């Protein structure tokens, strides 16, 4: 059983982490809206990460398009160097790490012994199977980078014990200058 308060808190954590991970080309935080389901474009991939504890498993997936236009918008130095599809996949894995790390840090305030996986890149056609697995809570979001590019994000929670907590971004103390190890 996951309380309504915990579900709303997970949503706020996830949206907060997405807004602090993805920005528009103008440097503004990307708009994040809830959607009924993730509908990735053909040929899309997803980076999947997990946060686990003794009592729950949280799966996060970012569905991203093929390189092309997305490469130019999401990888700042795509005009030179080794920027290409491999650099784009690395960039998406790193953004997945950042997003999941923020959620892990915040959920760790309520649950001891949380751990985070490394990112796995898989074909987006696996997305429906991920959400078809038994879970207590699932939600989907769309991150609008600009008018032409969006990234879908999914969050699925499976718990083995009751879960109830309340989290608000404005109530958290901002910490800077600390070194975080994964």
Separation between Cα atoms, residue 177 and residue 62, nearest integer Å: 28
Mean pLDDT of the chain: 84
pLDDT score, position 146: 81
Q: Percent of the chain beyond pLDDT 90?
A: 51
Residue 23's pLDDT band, with cuts at 50, 70 and 90, is confident
pLDDT score, position 118: 92
pLDDT score, position 170: 77
Strand, coil or helix: 121? strand
Residue 182's pLDDT band, with cuts at 50, 70 and 90, is low
Q: How far is CA 165 from the centre of its chain?
A: 20
CATH number of 4-162: 3.40.1550.10
Strand, coil or helix: 171? helix
DSSP state of 125: G
Q: Calculate mean pLDDT across residues 141-167.
A: 90
- Whether pTM exceeds 0.85: no
Is the pLDDT at 84 greater than 70? The verdict is no
Q: How far is CA 12 from the centre of its chain?
A: 12
Residue 31's pLDDT band, with cuts at 50, 70 and 90, is very high
Is the pLDDT at 175 greater than 60? The verdict is no
């Amino acid at each position: 059983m996951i309380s309504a308060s915990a579900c709303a808190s997970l949503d706020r954590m996830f949206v907060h982490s997405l807004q602090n991970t993805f920005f528009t080309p103008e440097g503004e935080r990307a708009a994040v809206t809830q959607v009924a389901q993730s509908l990735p474009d053909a040929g899309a991939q997803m980076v999947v990460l997990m946060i686990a504890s003794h009592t729950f498993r949280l799966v996060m997936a970012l569905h991203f398009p093929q390189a092309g236009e997305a490469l130019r918008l999401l990888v700042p130095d795509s005009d030179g160097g080794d920027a290409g599809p491999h650099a784009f996949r690395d960039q998406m894995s790193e953004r997945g790490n950042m997003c999941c790390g923020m959620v892990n840090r915040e959920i760790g305030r309520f649950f001891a012994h949380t751990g985070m996986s490394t990112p796995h890149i898989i074909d987006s056609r696996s997305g429906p199977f991920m959400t078809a697995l038994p879970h207590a809570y699932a939600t989907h979001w769309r991150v609008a980078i600009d008018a032409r590019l969006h990234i879908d994000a999914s969050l699925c929670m499976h718990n083995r014990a009751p879960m109830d907590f309340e989290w608000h971004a404005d109530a958290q103390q901002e910490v800077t200058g600390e070194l975080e190890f994964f």
